Amino acid sequence: KFHGTYLQDDRDLRPERRKKKLEQAYSFMVRVRVPGGVCTPAQWLALDRIATDYANGTLRLTTRQSFQLHGVIKSNLKRTMQAINENLLSTIAACGDVNRNVMCNPNPHQSEAHAEALALARAISDHLTPRTGAYHEIWLDGEKVVSSEAEEPIYGPHYLPRKFKIVVAVPPSNDVDVFAHDLGFIAIIGEAGRVVGWNVAVGGGMGMTHGEPETFPRTADVIGFCPPEQAVDVAEKVVLMQRDFGDRANRKHARLKYTIEDRGVDRFRTELEQRLGHALEPARPFRFESTGDRYGWTKDHRGDWHYTLFIENGRVRDTPDRPMKTGLAEIARIHVGDFRLTANQNLIIASIRPRHKPTIEKLLRQYGLTNDFTGLRLNAMACVALPTCGLALAESERYLPDLVTALDDVIESAGLRDDEIVIRMSGCPNGCSRPYLAEIGLVGRAPGRYNLYLGAAFDGSRLNKLYGKDLSHDEIVGALTPLIASYAKERADGERFGDFVIRKGHVAATASGADFHANLAPELSAA
């Protein structure tokens, strides 16, 4: 895992293979680390080829701005890792109890501040990448160094108690969901449009376990502000705090969010400041507007164009009406800018020179790569779940599109086609699609059964709350239909769906942390 791979098996094939007394159909998932989600067209093409030659022929864009390859069989694993590294990408620390891919707002050319955010994301990523030579020895046939292997300067001999996640956000966009992560930096932008420093947010996280209320999702606390030159050190010291104080006995209690809940935010900040050798300044005002992506064309201050493309659940593959994989490869062959993965599993074809725009527009049309969907679908996100994820309790990526199709009828007849409503589904409570920060969150309980959560804030600052338990497809549609219809008729000017269901008393507003479970009696229960 520390080298970016997971052993999986095809869960669709399990029953048949069991019957035939065959072992499971094993393969590997390989996760590529892409700090800030930026890659070149050449790297895109290389990954496209690797997916075709060694994996299941699809590319998966993840909720952390990375690529995943699924279905890599063991005899292709080393070749896959080598091909990824030959293209100047890596899989090191994409998984495991280390700092994971550092995310940031995906468009560094939008302004100076965005470029500074990417620079910080890369600096933190470099600083926290494990120094071990084992990765090179094992996968890249590096020379074996037995006794001179230096101890990891930050991680030490035992690494972290659990995974650790860092993001960099540039208001007003909260597209990285800054409150969902162990550590977040929020750009504070001065009058000249430059970053004057960063607010520091700690202790966010999504994962929980059904029926274990001592596990819960939590939104991060903003604990202060630091100037730009201190940010990498702040990141290091927060990681060291978690290394030293995180729970190493109980993995379900080992994320930074629990360290902070247990110690208290104020004590955590004081101890952090002791390690830093100075106090953090008071947090400065900021305002987020949304967590979603801005689709379609945008032009930056240099005159270059960027096209944000909706990719349903991040799965890049060819379908008869949307041959996306082929189309994006065609674009990559002529594109001289770069590709940027978003934290919402979408893609920005970025830095298109004005003279190349007509050609790219033509290719987008030719391959059906438009964004002509309802606001609900454009704000939908599902984790991978079945058939590859060993932890899935229910479908997610393969089911959410159908659920949205059913809800689209309700949305269209309520006149809400272009209204943005955030809907996210996870196949289990680990929350890989950050469902507890969705206005409509669905979390798998068992095959075909989901818990329905409502009422998160559109800007990503408030968790949702349990509304319905163990619901089937029909029950989910039945529960949401009247709510969507009354939202269309009774909402206040500019009121978001998540705020509306709270105002109407369908769910309570969740503070954070353990309060998430305070309303354990949902309004609805399965028949």
Q: Binder to ligand SF4 among 332, 392, 422, 480 (CB under 6 A)?
A: 392
Residue 306's binding partner among ligand SF4, ligand SRM, none (Cβ under 5 to 8 angstroms by kind) is none
DSSP 421-476: --EEEESSTT-TT-GGGSSEEEEEEETTEEEEEE---TTS-S--EEEEEEE-HHHH
**Would residue 351 be called left, alpha or beta, if left means φ above 0 and alpha means ψ between -120 and 50 degrees?**
left
* Closer residue to ligand SF4 in complex, CB, 444/468: 444
Residue 428's binding partner among ligand SRM, ligand SF4, none (Cβ under 5 to 8 angstroms by kind) is ligand SF4
**Would residue 415 be called left, alpha or beta, if left means φ above 0 and alpha means ψ between -120 and 50 degrees?**
left
Using CB under 6 A as the criterion, what x/- string covers residues 424-463 for binding ligand SF4? Answer: --xxx-xxx-------------------------------
Size of the site for ligand SRM (CB under 6 A): 31
79 is catalytic: no
**Is residue 430 a contact point for ligand SRM (CB under 6 A)?**
yes
* DSSP category for residue 156: -
Q: What is the rounded CA–CA span in Å between residue 55 and residue 75?
A: 11
What part of residues 187-246 is at the interface with ligand SF4 (CB under 6 A)?
none
Q: What is the rounded CA–CA span in Å between residue 353 and residue 7?
A: 42
Contacting range for ligand SF4; rule: CB under 6 A; set: 322-330, 348-356, 422-430, 468-476: 422-430
* Closer residue to ligand SF4 in complex, CB, 391/446: 391
Among 478, 456, 462, smallest CA distance to 523 is for 478
DSSP-derived 3-state class of residue 59: strand
Residue 387's binding partner among ligand SRM, ligand SF4, none (Cβ under 5 to 8 angstroms by kind) is none
Q: Quote the radius of gyration of the chain (alpha carbons, Å).
A: 22
Pair of tokens at residue 208: 């929980």
Residue 426's binding partner among ligand SF4, ligand SRM, none (Cβ under 5 to 8 angstroms by kind) is ligand SF4
Which of 428, 434, 445, 496 does the annotation list as catalytic? 428
To the nearest 10°, report the CA torsion of 425, 373, 63, 202: -80
Among 445, 495, 491, smallest CA distance to 472 is for 445
**Is residue 81 a contact point for ligand SF4 (CB under 6 A)?**
no
* Closer residue to ligand SF4 in complex, CB, 186/392: 392
299 is catalytic: no
> Contact positions toward ligand SRM, by CB under 6 A?
6, 8, 29, 31, 62-64, 66, 68, 100-101, 163, 165, 180, 205-207, 255, 314, 345, 383-384, 388-391, 430-434
In the complex, the residues that contact ligand SF4 under the rule CB under 6 A are: 383-385, 389, 391-392, 396, 426-428, 430-432
